[in-house]
Structure 1
Amino acid sequence: MTNALTVRHLDIASAEVSEVLDILDAEYRTRYREFYKDDITAYPVTDFTSPDGAFIGILEGDLLVAAGAIRRYDSTTAEVKRMWTRDTHRRRGLAQQVLRELDAAAGDLGYTRIFLTTGSRQPEAVALYRASGFEGGERRIPEFDLPVFAFEKPVGRTALIGHPSHS
């Protein structure tokens, strides 16, 4: 029997989140090998706490199965970071749900836009963001040695996969 899913704001410094960040870091190291830049420790954990940020988790029972965070990018824009879904729970719409929750959290914190980047070695992430109403595309960012996709959208306009994008 599958436990019900619950959405919670989590403390990014907690043990359950620390485990997830370690898994995410290992995935980035595997995908980006020689291009890897340590994104996980690049920002202080306080960036992902109120009043400027939030960390959202989806739990199945006590198991954290999907997560994501926002932090202040500028005075009106939240940046999405730490998007992750447990490999055994992928392709169930959980990342889409995390994005909707982050969108709501960004609105609650007073942001009007959401921005994010993802690497070219994460095509499933690119597809997710495009299907979720984010607009943008490939860019060269000086500190990276490979293409990066940059996306943004207004808060409150997260599309549902399989449904027409809201415009």
Structure 2
Amino acid sequence: MTIIPTTTQLHDDWIVTSSPMDPRARPLLEALIGEYSARYGDLAEFGQDAAREEVYGRYASDRFLPPHGNFLLIVRNGEAIAGGGFMPHEETDTAELKRIWTAAHLRRQGLARRIVFALEDAAIRQGYRRIFLTTGFRQPEASALYKRLGYTPLYDPKADPAVLMTLPFAKAIGDNAAVLA
């Protein structure tokens, strides 16, 4: 397990290479299931069981492990407070971000931004040139974050998000970002 120390103003945080099966990740993933259920549970196709299947069953956990994927946690005082991962996307030079999550009581501290940047760095080191991700139409905070971090919407931003339901984004990274700038 690789540990990369980072420091915030008030806390000592560690970015830890991990796995979705790491017991430290479980509270974050369970909270993510709760959030999905709260935001989308009224939709017939997305209740509590669908949220659990999305987080734990849709993708094998080994897809988030090097050399093709990665899963990172920000750990503070022994507790995972944010995390996320990536796995290979359909295009060979593209990683797909998944499960970006911050503990609800610690939001608005830049943790999601830090985990996304750490995932981008890991993807670059693993040879990826592009990041793809999707977020749901009832997650405006996530959409705003990705736009602030330089992700390009792959949908018509003028369209009603509720009609689109899934909002895809992409970003060139590494040397590819410099070429496209």
1:120 aligns to 2:137 (yes or no): yes
Structure 1 residues 25 and 145: CA distance shift in structure 2, 3 A: farther
For 1:156 and 1:61, how far apart are their aligned partners in 2?
Answer: 32
Aligned-pair distance for 1:17?
Answer: 1.1
Bigger radius of gyration? 2
Using the TM superposition, name which of 2-11 and 106-115 deviates more. Answer: 2-11
Using the TM superposition, name which of 33-42 and 86-95 deviates more. Answer: 33-42
* SS of residue paired to 1:16: coil
Taking structure 1 as the reference length, the TM-score comes to: 0.85
Aligned-pair distance for 1:107?
Answer: 0.6
Using the TM superposition, name which of 144-153 and 94-103 deviates more. Answer: 144-153
For 1:21 and 1:145, how far apart are their aligned partners in 2?
Answer: 27
**Cα deviation digits, residues 144-163 of structure 1 (max 9, x gap):** 97521110001139xxxxxx
- Aligned residues between the structures: 154
1:151 aligns to 2:169 (yes or no): yes
Letter in 2 for 1:60: R
8 Å CA contact 2:85, 2:99 repeated in 1: yes
For 2:30 and 2:103, how far apart are their aligned partners in 1?
Answer: 12
Residue number in structure 2 paired with 1:8? 16
For 1:17 and 1:136, how far apart are their aligned partners in 2?
Answer: 29
8 Å CA contact 1:138, 1:147 repeated in 2: no
8 Å CA contact 1:138, 1:148 repeated in 2: no
Residue number in structure 2 paired with 1:90? 107
Runs (4+) off by over 4 Å: none
* SS of residue paired to 1:124: helix
Letter in 1 for 2:114: Q
Indicate the RMSD between aligned Cα atoms, in angstroms. 2.1
Residue number in structure 1 paired with 2:86? 70
Pairing partner for 1:79 from 77, 83, 96: 96
Gapped runs of 5+ residues in structure 1? 158-165
Gapped runs of 5+ residues in structure 2? 1-9, 157-161
**Which protein is richer in helix relative to its size?**
2
Residue number in structure 1 paired with 2:6? none
Taking structure 2 as the reference length, the TM-score comes to: 0.79
Letter in 2 for 1:42: R
1:54 aligns to 2:60 (yes or no): no
Pairing partner for 2:54 from 10, 18, 39: 39
Letter in 1 for 2:37: R
